[in-house]
């Protein structure tokens, strides 16, 4: 029986595919102007100037034109097609469209999966200019052909109207940082060499395995970049160093390594430490008043065996506050010690001020793939709600020394299930339920933080959730945080190196990776029923939650998305990649789901108020702005680079009231 799309979607999201070549004829960057630029976007506008609307990433818009009462009247105002799309045929890699546009000075700026930067008229969707860096697409990029957006900076020493008064920055798949004149799209010649800086000068750089997908952070005249590094290929991966460059010249100002080389002890001791990554591949947040950069870091390499990276692996899997002028660490908080589960800090940090114990407290709210939310004092990094170091199951894998404890917040509660017993197994039919129960009885299953084993372990949540790069949004008037989460339990097994080839040849369907340089290869696959291949964990498999940040409690939780071909009429929820935004009128806008819709929810109740079908799934975070008295909601609807059976598109869609 052919597996339904739900299986393929969840499974392919966990695979780092090497993409094949997409040939481009030209070898030099060029800028293309529209022959006749559309009419300028005159009038007032509420901008969306950075990825998360404000530097701290709250994703909160003060606009109130679209309300609970009229949101059902939203219609498509315009659609722009980038033309950058690849379906993976003819030895070509697949593209995605994960960009969140920014709006400044009456112009929308977007990026495509081919790293083209495009400026649009926000009223009509007409193109003003386009810049093509001609990224080397002959390399394979583990995340597919994607980019999530650009950043911008105004040069205070350059008068308005002069070239590069405002600059637009993009970090590319082939590891370049590019600065463009926001008015024309031409490279800023005084930045690096002809408008670009190479980001390849890092320890153990490997082309294609080291790339950029998120927009840079801009603060205090500096542009700060992290990197995306492929998972599980080997122990010694490229360094996850974070770097800051002068916004005008491109000169390197500082760098910070989350896991610097171990320089203590004898030379023999130094050779034990074999790792890399711990990279900041997600979106950073900044606090200009405190001159701090908040960096979310991922897993040290490789994900599932840590015998060559003993200890807690600080500062992997953390949120770290760096001083913007020097790169020195102000504080750090590690969310997962000695990570063995691919539990990256993938969710962007969110800076907010919450009511706590009768006072206003500036905080960093940090989600994790575990489903936990950590609320930390912004100045000190100390937990606002208590966090306890609790014992967790030890590893039984020879050579592995897992952390004896993990930091567990007492509030808010986890946003996803973290245990699944054989008795609680789910199946659409009795046979499938019995099959799931039998599978669970054969797994090592001690709840969250069950270490990978040689027999097979349950990993719950799996590696695509709870909270992934989708992140969260915060309503400061209501004190509510909104986040979308995934609930897909996963099976994980370590395979001795001398058995790996045979296991891959004869074993069950799933992802096999050698983890070169370690004694063990890795196998993982979603925990699915034997016949219908549906998740063994009960639905909903994707949720939207609202958390009362003053009380540290969940206000409401609803399924997000539907798998109508599989479970008709049931709100089962789907995995989602692409996060929410909130507006002052009490609306939550979100796409991100496997089904191709954008939706609006009532932030007070979680009731779905509106949805509109998109050309393809909108695996991106929307944005909103007002221009000439009209509020627009914009979403990139391109499908996903890793979901091979789902349709792709190149459409940027804007909605507005009639």
Residues carrying an active site annotation: 342
Measured between alpha carbons, how far is 92 from 578 in angstroms, rounded to an integer? 24
Measured between alpha carbons, how far is 195 from 182 in angstroms, rounded to an integer? 13
Q: Are 625 and 74 in contact, with CB atoms under 8 Å apart?
A: no
Dihedral of alpha carbons 125, 126, 132, 136, sign: positive
For tokens 């995340």, the residue is 143
Measured between alpha carbons, how far is 617 from 99 in angstroms, rounded to an integer? 13
Measured between alpha carbons, how far is 99 from 145 in angstroms, rounded to an integer? 12
- At 517, list the tokens: 């340089």
Measured between alpha carbons, how far is 310 from 275 in angstroms, rounded to an integer? 10
DSSP line for 137-201: TTS--TT-B-----EEEE-TTS-TTSTTSEEEEEE-TTSEEEEEETTT--B-TTTBBTTEEE---
Full strand arrangement of the beta sheet holding 457-459: 457-459, 490-496, 520-526, 511-513
Q: Are 516 and 98 in contact, with CB atoms under 8 Å apart?
A: no
- For 29, 31, 111, 225, the CA distances from 131, given in Å and listed in that order, are 8, 4, 10, 20
Measured between alpha carbons, how far is 37 from 55 in angstroms, rounded to an integer? 30
- For 356, 370, 386, 387, 412, the CA distances from 383, given in Å and listed in that order, are 12, 17, 6, 6, 12
- At 87, list the tokens: 């379906």
Q: Are 152 and 49 in contact, with CB atoms under 8 Å apart?
A: yes
Which among 628, 642, 636 has a CA at the least distance from the CA of 655?
Answer: 636
Farthest-apart Cα atoms in the chain, separation: 72
Residues 6+ apart with CB under 8 A from 268: none
């Amino acid at each position: 029986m052919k597996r339904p799309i739900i299986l393929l979607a969840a499974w392919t999201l966990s695979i780092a595919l090497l993409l094949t070549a997409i040939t481009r004829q030209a070898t030099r960057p060029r800028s293309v102007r529209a022959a006749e630029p559309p009419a300028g976007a005159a009038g007032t506008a509420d901008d969306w100037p950075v990825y998360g609307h404000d530097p701290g990433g709250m994703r909160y818009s003060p606009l109130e034109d679209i309300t609970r009462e009229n949101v059902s009247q939203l219609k498509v105002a315009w659609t722009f097609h980038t033309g950058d799309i690849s379906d993976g045929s003819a030895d070509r890699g697949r593209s995605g469209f994960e960009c969140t546009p920014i709006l400044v000075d009456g112009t929308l700026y977007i990026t495509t999966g081919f790293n083209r930067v495009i400026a649009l008229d926000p009223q009509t969707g007409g193109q003003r200019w386009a810049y093509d860096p001609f990224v080397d697409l002959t390399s394979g990029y583990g995340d597919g052909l994607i980019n999530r957006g650009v950043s911008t900076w105004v040069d205070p020493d350059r008068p308005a109207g002069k070239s590069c008064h405002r600059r637009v920055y993009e970090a590319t798949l082939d590891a370049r940082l590019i600065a463009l004149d926001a008015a024309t799209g031409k490279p800023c010649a005084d930045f690096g060499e002809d408008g670009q800086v190479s980001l390849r000068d890092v320890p153990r750089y490997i082309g294609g395995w080291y790339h950029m997908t998120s927009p840079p952070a801009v603060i205090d005249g500096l542009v700060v970049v992290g990197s995306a590094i492929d998972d599980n290929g080997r122990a010694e991966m490229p360094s996850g160093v974070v770097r800051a460059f002068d916004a005008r010249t491109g000169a390197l100002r500082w760098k910070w390594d989350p896991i610097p080389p171990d320089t203590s002890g004898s030379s023999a001791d130094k050779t034990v430490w074999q790792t890399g990554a711990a990279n900041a591949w997600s979106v950073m947040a900044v606090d200009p008043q405190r001159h701090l950069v908040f960096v979310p870091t991922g897993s040290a390499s490789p994900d599932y065996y840590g015998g060559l990276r003993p200890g807690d692996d600080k500062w992997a899997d953390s949120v770290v506050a760096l001083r913007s002028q020097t790169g020195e660490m102000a504080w750090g908080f590690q969310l997962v010690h000695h990570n063995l589960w691919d539990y990256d800090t993938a969710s962007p940090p969110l800076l907010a001020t919450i009511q706590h114990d009768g006072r206003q407290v500036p905080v960093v709210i940090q989600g994790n793939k575990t489903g936990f939310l950590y609320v930390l004092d912004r100045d000190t990094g100390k937990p606002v709600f208590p966090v306890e170091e609790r014992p967790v199951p030890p590893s039984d894998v020879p050579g592995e020394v897992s952390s004896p404890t993990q930091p567990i917040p007492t509030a808010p509660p986890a946003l996803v299930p973290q245990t699944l017993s054989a008795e609680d197994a789910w199946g659409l039919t009795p046979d499938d339920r019995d099959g799931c129960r039998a599978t669970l009885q054969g797994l090592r299953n001690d709840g969250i933080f069950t270490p990978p084993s040689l027999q097979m372990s349950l990993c719950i949540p799996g590696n695509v959730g709870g909270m992934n790069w989708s992140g969260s949004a915060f309503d400061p008037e209501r004190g509510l945080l909104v986040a979308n989460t995934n609930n897909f339990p996963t099976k994980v097994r370590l395979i001795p190196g001398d058995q790996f080839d045979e296991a891959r040849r004869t074993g069950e369907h799933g992802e096999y990776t050698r983890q070169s340089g370690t004694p063990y290869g890795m196998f993982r696959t979603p925990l699915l029923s034997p016949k219908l291949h549906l998740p063994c964990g009960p639905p909903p498999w994707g949720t939207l939650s609202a958390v009362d940040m003053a009380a540290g409690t969940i206000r409401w939780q609803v399924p997000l998305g539907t798998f109508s071909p599989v479970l008709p009429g049931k709100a089962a929820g789907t995995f989602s990649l692409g996060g929410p935004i909130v507006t002052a009128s009490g609306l939550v806008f979100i796409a991100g789901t496997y089904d191709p819709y954008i939706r609006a929810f009532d932030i007070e109740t979680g009731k779905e108020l509106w949805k509109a079908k998109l050309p393809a799934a909108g695996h991106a975070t929307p944005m909103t702005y007002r221009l000439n008295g009209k509020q627009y909601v914009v979403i990139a609807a391109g499908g996903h680079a890793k979901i091979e059976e789902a349709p792709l598109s190149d459409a940027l869609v804007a909605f507005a009231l009639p």
